[in-house]
Amino acid sequence: MPMPSSNREAGLLRFGVFEVDLAAGELRKNGARIRLQEQPFQVLTALLQNAGQVVTRDELREKIWPADTFVDFDHSLNTAVNKIRESLGDSASSPRFVETLARRGYRFIAPVDSVGAAAAESATAHDTGTRAGAPAPHGLMVHPELYVPVPRRGLVRALFALIQVMYLIFYVSGLAHLHDAERVASSFLSGWRALVIVGAVLVTGAVGIPLRFYLLSAVGFDFRKLGATFGRLFPFILALDQLWAIAPFLLLSRIGVGLAFAATAALLYVPFSERTLVRMAYSSSAPVTAAFDSR
């Protein structure tokens, strides 16, 4: 018989982008089930139900390993906690979820909400946007930093890679038709000013090609620090992309002024799209990054 809705909600606990269904015995990331064995799941449940409080090793032993169970308790508990951390993308040295208290026990340190409480909070905060980590319409999860539905990570990385390929085509085409750039620049400017434009195309194209290959390889090999690296490079990338946004004017004789302006206007926004895509796929929040791995 299906469980009533209120009871089902009471059995759902959420922390960040993770969700634990106590009734079904499931741990999920953005709706995708993560395999977690029975004893690690029971340990996680005990920690979640006492979030913010120390759960001693003796309490866990009494709850999960009865007195008539003949096992190496210390080894079993350590193994269970390690499996929990592995599933959550957590670490003992810098914990975000499970904190170890030497010779005492463990404590779950992240905020834990039930689905019912989250829904009430979302309703009262409707005017300020969807709460980070709460379900968006149609059951989608919301990115905790960008407040948009979390897409598939593979799709985000593919879109970012396509943008890099687009700029590579711009650079190679611009350098291959450098005389056309000189002709277009000379039609608007005269003397040394036109040469400055041609020089800018030459230098930025030569610098941009290795930059795009670096970004392509980083996203291709799933370099986990790409988010921080891209953040440091962003001012330079922004200036470079804004300059190359005028690339459509190299085709002025073929596409006309109106279409050249429209394409330039669209390209002016692309670097900000790149930054958003990187933040989606390589969030500074470790739980979010881990959650993407299952998608």
Q: What is the pLDDT of residues 17-36, one digit of tens each?
A: 899 988 888 999 888 888 88
How much is the average pLDDT of 226-230? 87
Amino acid identity, residue 71? V
pLDDT of residue 67: 63
What sign has the CA pseudo-torsion 16, 22, 23, 29?
Answer: positive
* pTM tops 0.75, yes or no: no
pLDDT category of residue 106 using cuts at 50, 70 and 90: very high
pLDDT category of residue 165 using cuts at 50, 70 and 90: very high
pLDDT category of residue 2 using cuts at 50, 70 and 90: very low
pLDDT per position as a tens digit, 108-137: 998 888 765 444 444 344 444 444 444 444
pLDDT of residue 159: 92
Taking only Cα atoms into account, the Rg of the chain, rounded to an integer number of angstroms, comes to: 26
Do residues 105 and 77 touch, judged by C-beta distance below 8 A? no
pLDDT of residue 8: 39
Distance CA 244, CA 280 (A): 25
CB-based burial of residue 108 (10 Å sphere; 0-12 exposed, 13-18 middle, 19+ buried)? buried
pLDDT of residue 141: 59
The residue with greater pLDDT, 262 or 119, is: 262
Distance CA 161, CA 157 (A): 6
The residue with greater pLDDT, 67 or 256, is: 256
Kind plus residue range of the DSSP H or E element containing 116: helix 115-124
- E strands in the chain: 12-15, 18-21, 26-29, 32-34, 54-56, 98-101, 105-108, 113-114
pLDDT per position as a tens digit, 31-89: 888 888 888 999 999 999 898 899 998 888 888 876 665 567 788 888 999 999 999 98
Mean pLDDT of the chain: 77
pLDDT of residue 248: 76
Q: Spell out the residues 6+ positions from residue 208 whose beta carbon is closer than 8 angstroms to its own.
A: 167, 171, 240, 244
pLDDT of residue 145: 62
Do residues 143 and 287 touch, judged by C-beta distance below 8 A? no
The answer to whether residue 185 scores a pLDDT higher than 90 is no
Distance CA 30, CA 40 (A): 20
